[in-house]
Amino acid sequence: MALQKTLSLLLLLLLTLLGLRLVKLFYGETPYEKFQRQHVDSEESGDTDLYCNTMMEKRGMTSGHCKDFNTFIHENIRTINNICKNPHIRCKRGTMNCHEGVVKVTDCKHTERYQPPTCNYQAWASTRRVVIACEDNPLVPVHLDS
């Protein structure tokens, strides 16, 4: 009985890893890598419009269209990952895999004065509450919910 349970867990782990590999092959990055590309910048504390204009283009969010709104979190990835250890709360889409924490951020809002390839953003830097959806084992951030 214990052997069957162990084999079942190993099969589940293998299928999970295969699924993550397929996501990476199809999209070129895992959801965790995409989250980091779109939302993590531990090097800077961007508080200027130039920061947003530069980062949005550098991180690939102005190709084909200007992403309307994006938040960059200015904490190290370990601090952000630790938010996933906070108690579960309900996400906007109704699932229960969200967690909240307070971090330094820069919010970038598209001003709509320009269209690709020259997107223009306005920056707001602050320390505020964020809600992050976390998945996998161990839990890692995959979506910024607020």
Is 88 one of the catalytic residues? no
Angstrom distance (rounded) from CA 140 to CA 66: 27
* The one catalytic residue among 39, 74, 99, 110: 39
- Maximum alpha-carbon separation in the chain: 65
DSSP state letter for 40: B
Nearest to 71 by CA among 83, 82, 56, 86: 56
* The one catalytic residue among 74, 99, 110, 143: 143
Is 143 one of the catalytic residues? yes
List residues with catalytic annotation: 39, 143
